[in-house]
Amino acid sequence: MIEMVRILLLIALAAAALTTLSLALAWWMQPGRRLERAMVRALGPELEAVAISLAEGRAAGLDFETGQVCVLWDRGASGLVYGFDEIAGAEMIVDGHVVARVQRGEQRRALDVMAPDAEAVTLRLMFDDPRNPEFELTLWDALKPTETGSPAEAMRLGRRWLSHVEALLKLPMAPRQSERSAHD
């Protein structure tokens, strides 16, 4: 009888350990946590601006300390890091229409439309990269869960990103790393 109780306790203990391990693994592998870890690996822990789309498995982050922007996709498995001098501009797209834009060499097209009932709000980052010239991140989608809780919150996040990009475009252009190494 005591042997049977001991076996049942060992089985219960093993089941509890496996349950705890699987819960910890599920927590660790959550898409949001994976994206955050990938962003920290790429840019470091002190990010000034981050936008995440869990439904798409995409994220973007700015680090003013290193002068870099990181874009991630495939739940953080793939991504690119650009220098601030490689940013060509940004747009905010609401329901398929560009409602605000900042672009190098152009006047800012300010956000003059607020859409509290928007179906989709997307941030498009544009880069001086022929292979990957743009990166789109859905900030709000009425059909999918997003990090932002409403179209208005998504519009505020998009406007903040446009302001960051506009400020970055006004910075004096530093020579790119490849240009510096070519002249050394």
Q: Tokens 């349950």 identify what position?
A: 19
In a domain, 160, yes or no: yes
In a domain, 2, yes or no: no
In a domain, 72, yes or no: no
In a domain, 10, yes or no: no
Decide if pLDDT at 184 tops 70: no
- Cβ(155)–Cβ(118) below 8 Å: yes
Number of domains composing the chain: 1
In a domain, 14, yes or no: no
In a domain, 1, yes or no: no
**Highest mean pLDDT: which range of 24-38, 59-73, 159-173:** 59-73
pLDDT digit string (tens) for 67-123? Answer: 899 999 988 888 999 999 999 999 999 988 888 899 988 777 766 667 677 888 999
Q: Give all strands of the β-sheet with 78-83 in edge-to-edge order.
A: 49-53, 58-63, 68-73, 78-83
The range of the structural domain enclosing residue 94 comes to 50-58+84-175
In a domain, 31, yes or no: no
